[in-house]
Amino acid sequence: MLNFLSSKKSSGAGPLQGYKITNIERSKKYGVAADSLRMLKTKASEKFKLNSCRVYLAQDGVEVLDEDYFRTLPAQVLFVVAEQDAIVKTDFELMYDAIKSTHSELLQAGTLAKEFVCNNQSDIARLLQDAQHTQNQQTAKSRRSEHEEWFEGLHKRTDEKGPQTKEEIMQRRGQDRIRGYFYKTKDELTKCAVYRRNLMAKELIDEMLELFRQLLIGFDYFSCIFDRSHPERLPDAQVSNLVLANEKSDDGGQADEVDAQRIPSKRMKLIVKKSLENNPNPIDKYRMALCNSSGEFRCMGLWNHQQCNYGAHVINPYASRENMILFQVWNLDHQVEISRTVLPSIVENVSRMISDEAEAICKIHNRRGKNLSVITYFIELFTLGNLKLVHIVCHDKSIHDMISRGAIICDKCSEYKYIKALQNKIRYNKNALL
């Protein structure tokens, strides 16, 4: 009885806010108040009689694993709660399945539509031209005051520091995608057996996670990927060649985020930016927008294809509120898979590092390894070096037959020297700014 009552009280983790929870069938929906992910899971477990509750965002299916990430989400967001091994579909995927189940009716409707178009070609052409002109005008608008409809339903901030442009909103959407990969990486690595049982493994993984965090802050969690105002963008000609093409080098239960509370993100961003100045780095080339200057995105195709097989997979989320909502179901697809390949590679190489010397060998120089290729893993986890933007139809969730390039490196490897030099610069600039 005491445990039940305690779940209803504020834990003091953060402000108490209202959220919506539903089951995977969307047959029941409840409103709950929670001040933490833990409290939300407790209440969801009681409402839906779940033994092991997991929490997902209904709009895009992202699993919420981290209390820090939970606190970045706005009130009244809809979560799907499910058991440990349940398959969770996004709102869009449920609608897509419903449409597929009525395929014959759609075909009949298509035939009627074709006849109507043939009989009214001139009128329809004029209407389409007018509609296209209006859409182009709306697409070009940027500020909230110019296109209020586009911002409908988004959290409105009255202070001047809040997002007042489409570009700012899309920057945050890009950050959320990449930030989600960091929380997933952190969650899986800090829960693995070798991290919990071996102090050296824990130190290696903590050091890697801290450098990941610093670099992500320094690169603003790659907010540029969905930002049409970003000066660098991905040309159409590079779509099929960028992903992993340039990755060849000469080297071939902690709950709190590491050091997260000591240095504010804005200051850390300045520290990392200063540390990267006048020093060519292998990450900068992936800091680019995936759209053209008007905000149009094109599907990059299946993970193992050079391009999209469907020419119609094009969207401009800047054009309308509907497009912006639909864009949420476009996926960033890891060619080298994060859970099946990249993270297991990290755990395997950490295990070798803590074993005998015969296991922890740099294959390039045949010497005792000193570290893991952190930058290579960073590129595979968080950058366009391994990510393709794809329409939901082109997101193949079967096993990808690709291996990680991450490895054990020694003090003769250029990547090892780069990592150490970067860490020293960050440490120096951090002390200088504190």
6-10, 277-281, 289-293 — which one is most confidently predicted on average? 289-293
Residue 60: the pLDDT is: 81
pLDDT at 260 over 50: no
pLDDT at 227: 96
Of 284, 335, 338, 332, the closest CA to residue 306 belongs to 335
Distance between CA atoms of residues 426 and 99, nearest Å: 52
Task: Name the more confident of 226 and 158.
Answer: 226
**pLDDT bucket at 92, cuts 50 / 70 / 90:** confident
**What's the one-letter identity of residue 300?**
M
The pLDDT of residue 99 is 66
Rounded CA separation 178/184 (Å): 10
Output the pLDDT for position 280: 74
> What's at 139, amino acid-wise?
T
Contacts of residues 30-39 at CB distance under 8 Å and 24 or more positions apart, as own/partner, are 35/10, 35/11, 36/11, 36/67, 36/70, 37/64, 37/66, 37/67, 37/70, 38/11, 38/13, 38/67, 39/7, 39/10, 39/11, 39/13
Judge if pTM exceeds 0.85: no
Residue 228 has pLDDT above 70, yes or no: yes
- Distance (Å, rounded) from C-alpha 7 to C-alpha 46? 10
Q: What is the mean pLDDT of residues 250-268?
A: 48
Residue 251 has pLDDT above 50, yes or no: no
Dig out the tokens for 6 from the structure.
């305690």
The whole-number pLDDT of residue 268 equals: 81
Angle formed at CA 240 by CA 239 and CA 244, multiple of 5 degrees: 95
Question: pLDDT digit string (tens) for 348-396?
Answer: 999 999 987 677 899 999 989 999 999 999 999 999 999 999 999 999 8
The pLDDT assigned to 162 comes to: 64
Residue 21 has pLDDT above 90, yes or no: yes
pLDDT of residue 312: 78
Dihedral angle, C-alpha 179, 181, 182, 188, nearest 10 °: 150
The answer to whether the Cα torsion of 89, 93, 70, 27 is positive or negative is negative
pLDDT at position 254: 33
What pLDDT score was predicted for residue 339? 94
Asked if residue 400 has pLDDT above 80, the reply is: yes
